[in-house]
Amino acid sequence: MESELSVWHLITNAGVLVQLVMLLLMSASVVSWALIFQRLQVFRKARQAQLAFEERFWSGMDLGQLYREVNESPTPYSGMESVFRAGFKEFSRLRQQSRDADAVMEGTQRAMRVAFSREQERLETHLPFLATVGSTSPYVGLFGTVWGIMNSFRGLAEVQQATLATVAPGISEALIATAMGLFAAIPAVVAYNRFAARSDAQLKNYETFAEEFSSILHRRVHSSEKAGA
């Protein structure tokens, strides 16, 4: 009886549809864990790159020199550096083409917004998949459970005397689907909430930097305009 109620025995003896549901949930769980570890690395490297770039930016280094250095050897996962490169490149290009300070700043801020959107997309990659797994897996598991219980009761209709020994295996194999659904959903939901919060915090840092950098460039372009006048 114990061998018949072992998890592996119940899975192998479940119905075809229930086994497909279990396989789907197991695949979703494996992919979710792979994405969780991958996202952990991405956010860790993005945070480290941000701190390193902030230290260089606020060290008093000439912005032109800093741009040449980061442009020659870009730091992977450094969203703040990407915003800086896009903004300073557009700022330098527009200053050579126009003396209108407002037009220069408008183009510079637009370039930084585009870089910011790209970094937002990079940080939020795969998060919709985790949200989908977290929200749908319990229902997929419940579907497998309901289907398994239906088959169990259908089998009981063919037996003259129903006992616990005849009911237990079918009910147990059906409940495994629900357990697997929860096993897939809970880590995905926790990871999604955690990564969404970290993404918001990281993007807020990028947005704050873009505003501070815009203020620096704004003072520079207007001081040059007054000096030229």
Question: What is 54-112 written as a DSSP string?
Answer: HHHHTTT--HHHHHHHHHHSPPTT-HHHHHHHHHHHHHHHHHHH---HHHHHHHHHHHH
Q: Which of 81-85, 99-103, 131-135, 180-184 is least confident?
A: 99-103
Are 156 and 167 within 8 A, CB to CB? yes
Is residue 190 in some structural domain? Answer: yes
Is residue 8 in some structural domain? Answer: no
Is residue 202 in some structural domain? Answer: yes
pTM above 0.75, yes or no: yes
Residue-averaged pLDDT of the chain: 86
Give the C-alpha distances (Å, rounded to integers) separating 155 from 7, 145, 160, 178: 20, 15, 11, 21
Give the residue with greater pLDDT, 76 vs 166.
76
pLDDT, residue 98, reads 79
Calculate helix-pair angle for 16-57, 63-72, nearest 10 degrees.
140
Is residue 2 in some structural domain? Answer: no
- What is the number of domains present in the chain? 1
Is residue 221 in some structural domain? Answer: yes
Is residue 142 in some structural domain? Answer: yes
DSSP line for 40-63: HHHHHHHHHHHHHHHHHHTTT--H
pLDDT, residue 61, reads 86
Boundaries of domain holding 211: 16-228
Is residue 11 in some structural domain? Answer: no
Is residue 20 in some structural domain? Answer: yes
Q: Is 3 helix (H, G, I), strand (E, B) or coil?
A: coil
Q: Which two tokens stand for residue 132?
A: 């989908």
Q: Which residues of 28-39 are buried (b: 16+ CB within 10 A; e: fewer)?
A: bbebbeebbeeb
